[in-house]
Amino acid sequence: MTGAGFGGLYALHKLRASGLAVRVLEAAPSVGGTWWANRYPGARVDIQSLEYSYSFSEPLQQQWRWSERYASQPELLRYANHVADRFELRRDIVLNTRVSAAHFDEAAACWRVRSDVGRSWRARFIVMAIGPLSTPNTPAFDGLDAFTGPVLHSAAWPHEPVDFGGRDVALVGTGSSGVQMIPLIAEQARTLTVFQRTAAYAVPARNGPLDPEREARIKADYAGFRARNRRMRAGFGSELSPHPLPTLAVTDAERQALFEERWQIGGFSLLGAFVDTLTDLRANEACAEFVRGKIRAIVRDPAVAARLCPTHPIGCKRLCVDTGYYDTYNRANVTLVDVSRAPIERIAPHGVVSGGREHRADLLVLATGFDAFTGPLTRIDLRGRGGLHIRDKWRGGPLNYLGLTVAGFPNLFNLVGPGSTSAFTSVITAIEHHIDWIAECIGWLAAHGRQTLEASADAEAQWVARVNQIAEQTVYPHCNSWYLGANIPGKPRIFMPLAGGFPAYAERCAAVARDGYAGFVTR
């Protein structure tokens, strides 16, 4: 198994409990995955921690105490370490070990795995738990190497504290990572210049200490709460219901009142106010305009506010959950540079050049995201039957079946990858679902005397077509997001995650298992 983030930790626990010998190979010197790597100022989860946490162990979910509504990165990392200790996982985790190659040996029906320092392993099954957002995207800016100050990427942040005091900081990128760190850097830096290619929708997190009454209420029936969440499209948020009518079927006053109520609650609740926000462009515009109204009310300079107002549908790119983001642009030391029409021309030794002007900087922050879904796998020398490289298999987009498997790559399972609801689900809910399914599948193979399971090419083609058909019924194709690969120059524009909702997806996976792994070839 590759990766000791939240996916790898639970996979190790579950598969070991199923009687399998499991070894986890982790490139980092620590468990924690995303929460090990993404340690920029303000990094915290955007789904409430009582929901973004494991449900597989009742004692764990009862005993662990989150200090805030949305846990910070250090607390999430402590949680990952606690889980590793509590379930005695460390003895089967090999740290500082990056998997560089995995080849399927057809004669022996097993995987031969190699690390970058030449160690090797043999495995019947391989679980890729490397996370869909683990390959940082560093744009190929001219002159980047000649920049004289530090260049920090949000997803490969230094482990020692970064002192922004007295510095002129340039920051590129206004997705979730940029939106979280901009207010905190602005408080410390002498100046902060933000280079924005696409304006972001950000909703207030309303973070704060966890309300003990709410915690007690949820913990009184945690299993029931988790079950209700699993019936939600996103796998979380069951405490709030959408309005029974579509957005445009209610009066303006009623609509604004509900949007305002959700804005006050904070987080993703705004997108759940009405059922059609993500499927009807006119309904979506009502919600989008509500947020633009908030931006115009918060940001004092109308010209800056106008630049901060997004024009694409809300939720089309992942909604950002913030603390003081728009307010930051009222500070005298913060400048917003719009690079939507004139891209960054180059990085100079002491600044960033855009629109023919050099903006001085002695520290450059890249909050420029990830080569999502495909990047983590295609960077490995991963070869299935006939030596087929995953890069070649996925040249036109990430073919897969159920998001979990790839035809031609027997006994390989990919967690929270393309074709699953991963990006639209609370990821730990997705992880637990995937791993439970994988454990059951491996058990079925053993019970039926089969050595390998492999998606059929037909099942795979139909699945990918279905993922794209479902996306066509939503607002998602109407912007350039990492869901579409549109953030990476040259990447095929294919909608990768499944937008059909977690319950339908889980039911489909269960049905496939009930039908003796329909769509798979087993030998």
Contact residues for ligand NAP, defined by CB under 6 A: 45-46, 133, 139, 154, 172-178, 180, 195, 197-198, 318, 321, 339, 343-344, 367-370, 480, 482, 487
Q: Using CB atoms, what's the residue nearest to ligand NAP?
A: 175
Contacts of 77 (CB under 8 A, 6+ apart): 30, 32, 35, 36, 39
Q: What is d(CA 71, CA 42) in angstroms, rounded to the nearest whole number?
A: 10
136 DSSP β-pair partners: 370
- DSSP reduced 3-state for 181: helix
Q: Which is nearer to ligand NAP, 42 or 384 (CB)?
A: 42
- Closest contact distance (angstroms) between CB of 180 and ligand NAP is 6
Q: Which is nearer to ligand NAP, 315 or 384 (CB)?
A: 315
Enter the tokens of residue 114.
């190699």
Q: Which is nearer to ligand NAP, 54 or 125 (CB)?
A: 54
219 CB neighbour count, 10 Å cutoff: 15
- Closest contact distance (angstroms) between CB of 40 and ligand NAP is 8
- Closest contact distance (angstroms) between CB of 472 and ligand NAP is 21
Q: Which is nearer to ligand NAP, 173 or 501 (CB)?
A: 173
Q: Which is nearer to ligand NAP, 306 or 339 (CB)?
A: 339
How large is the angle between the packed helices 6-17 and 73-86, nearest 10 degrees? 10
- Closest contact distance (angstroms) between CB of 372 and ligand NAP is 7
- Closest contact distance (angstroms) between CB of 217 and ligand NAP is 24
- Closest contact distance (angstroms) between CB of 422 and ligand NAP is 10
Nearest-CA neighbor of 421 among 202, 233, 280, 270? Answer: 233
Nearest-CA neighbor of 220 among 426, 50, 52? Answer: 50
- Closest contact distance (angstroms) between CB of 32 and ligand NAP is 14
Q: What is d(CA 294, CA 291) in angstroms, rounded to the nearest whole number?
A: 5
Contacts of 470 (CB under 8 A, 6+ apart): 498, 499, 500
455 DSSP β-pair partners: 520
Q: Which is nearer to ligand NAP, 43 or 404 (CB)?
A: 43
Q: Which is nearer to ligand NAP, 102 or 202 (CB)?
A: 202
Q: What is the DSSP letter of 484?
A: G
Nearest-CA neighbor of 474 among 448, 450, 500? Answer: 500
- Closest contact distance (angstroms) between CB of 248 and ligand NAP is 28
Beta strands in 198-240 (DSSP E): 202-204
Q: Which is nearer to ligand NAP, 176 or 378 (CB)?
A: 176
Q: Which is nearer to ligand NAP, 97 or 277 (CB)?
A: 277
Q: What is d(CA 204, CA 201) in angstroms, rounded to the nearest whole number?
A: 10
Q: How far is CA 2 from the centre of its chain?
A: 17
- Closest contact distance (angstroms) between CB of 66 and ligand NAP is 14
Residue environment code for 472-509, b if the CB has 16+ CB neighbours within 10 A, otherwise e? eebbbbebbbbbbbbbbeebeebbbbbbbbbeebbeeb
Residue 206: exposed, middle, or buried by beta-carbon count in 10 A (0-12, 13-18, 19+)?
middle
- Closest contact distance (angstroms) between CB of 366 and ligand NAP is 8
- Say if CB 324 and CB 292 are below 8 A apart: no
- Closest contact distance (angstroms) between CB of 426 and ligand NAP is 11
Q: What is the DSSP letter of 494?
A: -
Q: Which is nearer to ligand NAP, 111 or 201 (CB)?
A: 201
Q: Which is nearer to ligand NAP, 168 or 371 (CB)?
A: 371
